Structure 1
Amino acid sequence: MTETQRKSGWLNRSRRIVKYYYLKVMRNSGSPEYIARGAALGIFIGFAIPIGFQIAAAVPLAFLLKGAKIPAVVLTFISNYATVLVIYPLQCYIGGFLIFRPFRWAVLVEKLHGLLEERTLASLMELGTPIILSFFAGGLLFGILTAVPGYYLTLRLVAGFRRRRAERRAKEAPGKL
């Protein structure tokens, strides 16, 4: 298998996965506002809460805030093992300024890389309070800055998806007996 074929296969699988989850969110029952609330919550949690605890937070909060559960869970995956290599260091870097303890980029990347390799409570505690606080400060900022537009984007996407589906079904209906 050539490198081009391997990349093409990976790209096709990625597209299928994204399309699957897109349809999972769009076909969710409930009003567009209900679905958008769940989506915004999932995006927010994807930034504000570390991987491993996101789903445990998304489902109860979706119940509490009356948002759709499936979009809340699906959109927590905005931070995943591929994207956290960029998101978490950037989030901590910006968060460091928010808590008035700026960090050097190289230090953050090195410490967070060690955490991703070892994934233990001990390695998390080795990060230290300033980095953990900067993670949450940056996560709250990124979460708010992405959840608000995510709500309105999801609202428009769901409304458009349902409108197109209704139009398609209306065209098909007269031909059926």
Structure 2
Amino acid sequence: MLPWWKVSKRKLRRAHVQLLRGSGAPAEIAGGMALGLFIALLPIMGLQLPLALVSAELLRRLTHFRLSRVAAAAGVWINNPVTAAPVYGLCYLVGRPIAHRLLPLSPPRAGSQSAGFDLGALSGPDALEVGLGLVIGGVLLGVPTAWLGYRITYGMVSRHQARREERRARRARGLRMAPEA
């Protein structure tokens, strides 16, 4: 039996190869990845995968802009139960100052000086501020993350497809491929 890190590494490699070999133009695959990454940063844990798949299908039907649903699903899996706390923590840190300015100030509660963070103690305006901070931070971080994910995925897929076409052309001409270094 393989250790968990080797199994995880193998699964990541397999997903990477499947993403690169996906059918569709590089823009379709990269667009799906961007959509998935954007949705992954929204505070809707558990609904991210269905939302990504439905959004990709709605975009295709309404605008005829095709996005890879496989790439969208892969982008959503960036945020998983292991990475959710740091991702949402960062989203909250980014969105909290804006949410605090948008909402009216709530009076300080007794015992609010404690060192711990008790989410169950939040009520009313405080809970609204946390939720709004998560959403705002998710959108503010989601846009550049989606853009960066699009650029990286587009480059990877287009290079992979170009190499694949070059190999096919060499085989068609009957030439042997030089070993890759």
Q: 2:44 aligns with which of 42, 50, 54?
A: 50
Letter in 1 for 2:7: R
Letter in 2 for 1:149: L
Q: 1:31 aligns with which of 4, 25, 42?
A: 25
Aligned to 1:132: 131
RMSD, aligned α-carbons: 2.9
Q: Which has the larger radius of gyration?
A: 2
Letter in 1 for 2:57: F
Matched, 1:19 2:13: yes
> Relative contact order (C-alpha < 8 Å, sep 6+): which is higher?
2
Aligned to 1:59: 53
| Distance of aligned partners of 1:81 and 1:57 in 2 relative to their CA distance in 1, 3 Å threshold | same
| Distance of aligned partners of 1:55 and 1:44 in 2 relative to their CA distance in 1, 3 Å threshold | same
The separation in 2 between residues aligned to 1:158 and 1:164, in whole angstroms, is 10
Aligned to 1:90: 90
Aligned to 2:35: 41
Farther off after superposition, 167-176 or 32-41: 167-176
2:42/2:138 contact within 8 Å kept: yes
The separation in 1 between residues aligned to 2:116 and 2:90, in whole angstroms, is 12
- Tell me by how many angstroms 1:67 deviates: 1.1
- Tell me by how many angstroms 1:97 deviates: 1.4
Aligned to 1:117: none
Structure showing the higher helix proportion among its residues: 1
1:100-111 → structure 2 map (5 Å cutoff):
100=100, 111=119
| Distance of aligned partners of 1:152 and 1:107 in 2 relative to their CA distance in 1, 3 Å threshold | farther
- Tell me by how many angstroms 1:28 deviates: 1.6
Report the TM-score, using the length of structure 1 for normalisation.
0.76
Indicate the SS of the match to 1:48. Answer: coil
- Tell me by how many angstroms 1:24 deviates: 2.1
| Distance of aligned partners of 1:107 and 1:68 in 2 relative to their CA distance in 1, 3 Å threshold | farther
Aligned to 1:72: 72
Letter in 1 for 2:152: L
The separation in 2 between residues aligned to 1:58 and 1:49, in whole angstroms, is 13
Structure 2: unaligned runs, 5 residues or longer: 60-65, 102-112, 177-181
2:43/2:88 contact within 8 Å kept: no
Report the TM-score, using the length of structure 2 for normalisation.
0.74
The separation in 2 between residues aligned to 1:77 and 1:107, in whole angstroms, is 29
Aligned to 2:104: none
The separation in 1 between residues aligned to 2:138 and 2:42, in whole angstroms, is 4
> For this pair of structures, how many residues does the alignment match?
155
1:159-174 → structure 2 map (5 Å cutoff):
159-173=158-172, 174=174
Indicate the SS of the match to 2:41. Answer: helix
Letter in 2 for 1:80: N
